[in-house]
Structure 1
Amino acid sequence: MASGKIEGTSAPALRRDLYEVLSVSRDSSDQEIKTAYRKLALKYHPDKNVGNPEASELFKEVAYSYSILSDPEKRRQYDTAGFEALEANGMDMEIDLSNLGTVNTVFAALFSKLGVPIKTTISATVLEEALNGTVTVRPLPLGTSVSGKVDKQCAHFYGVTINDEQAQAGIVVRATSPSQSKFKLLYFEQDASGGYDLALQEDSEKTGKVTSAGMYFLHFQVYKMDSSGNMLAMAKDPEAAFFKRLEGLQPCEVSELKPGTHIFACYGDNFFKPAAYTIEAMCARSFVDTTEKLKEIEAQILRKRNDLREFEIEYKKALAHFQEVTNRYNQEKQIVDDLLKQRDSIHFSFTTEPTVTSVGGSTSGSCKSPDEENSIGSPIEDSTPDVRDKSSKKKWFNLNLSKKA
């Protein structure tokens, strides 16, 4: 079942201890936490408790608790510093489409279209039908693909049967949508009662001109990337978001499958229309080189994540130092400018000439004598012969030649 909160980004008002909410101990394993969450979420799901506000609140509380305890980094933060650490880092929003009214669905679709990451839970109807074993399972042979359209909040189930040799080699199941539909790829484990219990889910992500999701069962640890919260973080603080980008890398809980039939499903996650998809199952034996490349790139990304954790500390120190020296640079520049202005002012003070104030308020170190002032406004006949000559020429050029014509 999906993890996260319902209808909002903040924790419930009355916050109980997260372990207490799920009725697990602090040293519980991931699987124990997941099992407890599934039981409680199915019990309190709004689809099964219409008109029961108390169940709805309990469902939110259970989903919120699991969204933290199922995430290794958030669980570590909570164990270390409680709710304060979680509030400082913010939380992703997750909604249940089956519990939304028409108006809220429109707003949710709008936010999704604008790129705001909105996670969605799987409807209780689908989960309950799977748990009861009442779903229709279509065959999906290895090396083949099937295309279809699944209605919103509905799922198409497929059975992939593998033998010993194929199980030893590993398999890959992928789904894509050229129409960029929003969907979930699900994997169910067979329950002791004969039903199917949700074990893994991958939300489709846009890659190029398609949306896609994949599951890789290859006998080595494969990771999934949860980048839903990074878009908002990137808008707020691109540098901080960069260092957290690889923190969304989480290990998949199932890395290999045993011989037999395994159940996968495509779940319609669109807000208004069916989701178009193509699902295919492949044996890794036909993709040996590609499998080795994936193994190596996963290892490189893990090493890079560790490198970034160390580099972030170094970067923040350097950034703080840069800010410090930049501030000092501005201060020193201002001081130097002020000192030079004072120096110029003192230099101009060394004069025996009286100073006058100009129209703009500036002072001049000397003033013109009365004779110089009169010479400026003297008539032209007091000018030199050259000046008179130029004046007469100017008058000659000013003759009205049109009369002569």
Structure 2
Amino acid sequence: MASEKMEGPSAPAVRRDPYEVLSVSRDSSDQEIKSAYRKLALKYHPDKNVSNPEASELFKEVAYSYSILSDPDKRRHYDTAGFEALEHGAMDMEIDLSNLGTVNTMFAALFSKLGVPIKTTVSATILEEALNGTVTVRPLPLGASFSGKVDKQSAHFFGVTINEQQAQSGIVIRVSSSAQSKFKLLYFEQEANGGYGLALQEDSEKTGKATSAGMYFLHFQVYRMDSAVNALAMAKDPDAAFFKRLEGLQPCEVSELKSGTHIFAVYGDNFFKPASYTIEAMCAKSYEDTTQKLMEIEAQILTKRNDLRQFETEYRKALTQFQEVTNRYSVEKQAVDELLNQREQIHSSFTTVRTVAGHIGASNGGGGSKAHLDDSRTESQSDDGSSDGKDKSNKKRWFNLNLNRSDKKL
């Protein structure tokens, strides 16, 4: 597949086929992809290649390719339509604190304090020591806990041994910090050479007045919440943040453990100081009701996420219609207001103020106008012979004449 230019700042300058980068086939299993990524990430880790600037770019390319192939949805989209089907903004990268200068580390700490999600990698030194089997492993019995402090970019390893019955019941490993320290909970699988390869990691999350992380091996699919994915999705579309709250829900890659000893570690992820923590190992046999509730809730949340994806489409369509009618409402309201204002102005033009003012002006001009008006009225009345003095005398004489004539006849 031909390489393509990147559009996002967090990915390599040139994109190659992720399968080619990790040297795996398209039908490779998740475990094969994970194993290939671990080997290449360790090979090109900046800690081990300080004098080789090309290794940093290769490490970035390997991490970017794994971010696609390790996610079922992204892998399916890529297999269907290539890079164009992927959301570039969601391809967030992890940073290695040991490879940052003091100033950059301070900025990273500041952004983290402000709530900006910053994903960090586990130090290559720790990964290499674990892979070589040279780490110190403390025993952690089921039902017990251990409290301690781990330095930044260091790890405390614990071995949890379980029998067949306990494995069937399920195992829970939880770490918490009342000091709100930032840490990672790591799970390592046994390698053929006797060492341990990193298989799972959970970043601590703030829960109330503490930080915590947990791994649940309960024989059913348990999901973890990637807050960085949620934050990026919400930042892209703040108006629909509600619909993005469950987008960070990712299935855990391991849902059960077999009998034997399993290796866990607490990794100090604080920027400047050690991380205080308490780690606990529990058998789910003592928490049957709680386990059942968790299984039901996990299923309900997954269903709800699918429902929200469908509802978001309906919501956006309705929102578009709402915006259209509200825009029309504003236009219609403005038109009605303008018409009513014009109507009021026209109504106001019907007033006696200007007529009276006209008469006052005419009277101030002299008595000629008033005399003229009186003359006009006199002339008008004289025309019909009803008010002239001369006419009145004629009528009188005419009346008298008739009387005289009547008297003579009598």
TM-score in terms of structure 1 length: 0.82
* CA contact 1:218–1:284 (8 Å) conserved in 2: yes
Q: Tell me the equivalent position of 2:127.
A: 127
TM-aligned CA deviation for residue 234 of structure 1: 3.6
Q: Tell me the equivalent position of 1:378.
A: none
Q: Tell me the equivalent position of 2:221.
A: 221
CA distance in 1, matches of 2:227, 2:69: 18
Residues 272 and 366 from structure 1, CA distance in 2 versus in 1: closer, same or farther, beyond 3 angstroms? farther
Q: Which has the larger radius of gyration?
A: 2
TM-aligned CA deviation for residue 35 of structure 1: 1.5
**Aligned ranges 1:253-402 → 2 under 5 Å:** 253-348=253-348, 367=357, 370=360
Q: Tell me the equivalent position of 2:105.
A: 105
Q: Provide, for residues 230-266 of structure 1, a one-character-per-residue CA deviation record: whole Å limited to 9, x for no partner.
A: 2354456433232122121111111111111000000
* CA contact 2:64–2:91 (8 Å) conserved in 1: no
CA distance in 2, matches of 1:38, 1:64: 13
Q: Tell me the equivalent position of 1:118.
A: 118
**Aligned ranges 1:39-118 → 2 under 5 Å:** 39-86=39-86, 89-118=89-118
TM-aligned CA deviation for residue 346 of structure 1: 4.2
**Please, which runs of 5 or more residues in structure 1 have no aligned partner?**
1-7, 356-364, 375-405
CA distance in 1, matches of 2:77, 2:140: 42
CA distance in 2, matches of 1:273, 1:36: 33
Q: Secondary structure at the match of 1:214?
A: strand
State percent identity of aligned pairs: 81
TM-aligned CA deviation for residue 366 of structure 1: 6.1
Q: Secondary structure at the match of 1:310?
A: helix
Letter in 2 for 1:74: K
**Aligned ranges 1:6-21 → 2 under 5 Å:** 9-21=9-21
The structure whose residues are more often helix, as a share, is 2
**Aligned ranges 1:82-231 → 2 under 5 Å:** 82-86=82-86, 89-231=89-231
**Please, which runs of 5 or more residues in structure 2 have no aligned partner?**
1-7, 365-410
Q: Provide, for residues 329-383 of structure 1, a one-character-per-residue CA deviation record: whole Å limited to 9, x for no partner.
A: 11111222222233334445567x685xxxxxxxxx8637539x99xxxxxxxxx
* CA contact 1:116–1:232 (8 Å) conserved in 2: no
Letter in 2 for 1:263: I
CA distance in 2, matches of 1:242, 1:65: 29
CA distance in 1, matches of 2:308, 2:190: 40
Q: Secondary structure at the match of 1:120?
A: coil
* CA contact 1:227–1:248 (8 Å) conserved in 2: yes
Letter in 1 for 2:334: Q
Residues 88 and 57 from structure 1, CA distance in 2 versus in 1: closer, same or farther, beyond 3 angstroms? closer
Residues 79 and 243 from structure 1, CA distance in 2 versus in 1: closer, same or farther, beyond 3 angstroms? farther
Q: Provide, for residues 124-155 of structure 1, a one-character-per-residue CA deviation record: whole Å limited to 9, x for no partner.
A: 11111111111110000000000011111111
CA distance in 1, matches of 2:80, 2:116: 29
* CA contact 2:181–2:275 (8 Å) conserved in 1: yes
TM-aligned CA deviation for residue 161 of structure 1: 0.4
TM-score in terms of structure 2 length: 0.81
Q: Tell me the equivalent position of 1:359.
A: none
Letter in 2 for 1:370: I
Q: Tell me the equivalent position of 1:247.
A: 247
TM-aligned CA deviation for residue 33 of structure 1: 1.8
Q: Tell me the equivalent position of 1:377.
A: none
Residues 88 and 158 from structure 1, CA distance in 2 versus in 1: closer, same or farther, beyond 3 angstroms? closer
Q: Secondary structure at the match of 2:228?
A: coil
CA distance in 2, matches of 1:34, 1:60: 16
**Residue-pair matches, total:** 357
TM-aligned CA deviation for residue 306 of structure 1: 1.0
CA distance in 1, matches of 2:101, 2:172: 37
CA distance in 2, matches of 1:91, 1:188: 25
CA distance in 2, matches of 1:218, 1:252: 11
Q: Secondary structure at the match of 1:118?
A: coil
* CA contact 2:68–2:75 (8 Å) conserved in 1: yes
* CA contact 1:93–1:117 (8 Å) conserved in 2: no
TM-aligned CA deviation for residue 20 of structure 1: 2.0
Residues 367 and 73 from structure 1, CA distance in 2 versus in 1: closer, same or farther, beyond 3 angstroms? farther
TM-aligned CA deviation for residue 116 of structure 1: 0.6
Q: Secondary structure at the match of 2:254?
A: coil
Residues 269 and 159 from structure 1, CA distance in 2 versus in 1: closer, same or farther, beyond 3 angstroms? same
* CA contact 2:175–2:213 (8 Å) conserved in 1: yes
CA distance in 2, matches of 1:205, 1:50: 32
TM-aligned CA deviation for residue 200 of structure 1: 0.7
Q: Secondary structure at the match of 2:149?
A: strand
TM-aligned CA deviation for residue 107 of structure 1: 0.8
